[in-house]
Amino acid sequence: MIISNSHRFVFVHLHKTAGTAVTDAFVPTLAWNDIFLGSETVGNELEPYFRRRFGLHKHAAAWAIRRVIGDTLWRDYFIFSVVRNPYARAVSTYT
């Protein structure tokens, strides 16, 4: 999960959909006021705090992120995720 205030986007990381690759691609471009959870050393260290304080984690649902950032940012930021063919995703779950 990424909340990028500097680039004005939110990335909702779904299970088994290349979300770690997306996060790894964006991390070098993030600023001090951006939040990313999981996937990287810093993200893994921050995740327990954000989970306790806000209920957010690497695979937080879109509704949970929206609840934390509010409707204004949710409307103003670009919100995206990566989806995958459901059959390929199911196979990946068991391999």
Query: 13 is written with which tokens?
Result: 């990381």
User: Is the predicted pLDDT of residue 1 greater than 90, yes or no?
Assistant: yes
Q: What is the pTM of this model?
A: 0.89
Residue 87 is predicted with a pLDDT of 87
pLDDT band at 86 (very low <50, low <70, confident <90, very high): confident
Domain positions in the chain are 2-94
User: Is the predicted pLDDT of residue 27 greater than 80, yes or no?
Assistant: yes
Give the separation between CA 90 and CA 88, rounded to whole angstroms: 5
DSSP the chain: -EEETTTTEEEE--TTSSHHHHHHHHGGG--TT-EE-SSSHHHHHHHHHHHHHHS--TT--HHHHHHHHHHHHHHHSEEEE----HHHHHHHHT-
Residue 95 is predicted with a pLDDT of 77
Residue 91 is predicted with a pLDDT of 85
pLDDT in tens, 32-82: 999 999 877 888 999 999 999 999 999 999 999 999 999 999 999 999 999
